[in-house]
Amino acid sequence: MAGVSLAPRQKGWAESGLAGLAIVTYFGLATVWLPSWVLRMPAIAQASRSVSDLVGTLVWAVFLLLGMWGLRVAQRRGWI
């Protein structure tokens, strides 16, 4: 394969900083703010403690796993 480099491309500090900021922002919003917002919704807030705990945990876990999967995809494609 002439002309194709398999080595990862070097990123500048600005591009790396923006990627890091995007990752931190996603995990902050998806695993802190979003579950908190869901738990304050009237239907969930009025439910029993067990139901609200389960809903909060599921929202947190789904978006955590989605973020981890996204990081792996981004790494394999050389975006990060």
pLDDT, tens digit, for every residue of 3-45? 666 666 677 888 888 989 999 999 999 999 999 999 999 999 8
Mean pLDDT for 41-68 is 93
Mean pLDDT for 49-76 is 93
**Residue 42, φ and ψ in degrees, nearest 5:** -55, -40
User: What is the structure's pLDDT at 66?
Assistant: 95
Say if residues 44 and 51 touch (Cβ distance below 8 Å): yes
Which residues, other chains included, contact 63 with Cβ-Cβ below 8 Å and sequence gap of 6+?
A: 30, 31, 34, 35
Whole-number Å distance between alpha carbons of 56 and 76: 30
User: What is the structure's pLDDT at 39?
Assistant: 93
Whole-number Å distance between alpha carbons of 80 and 68: 13
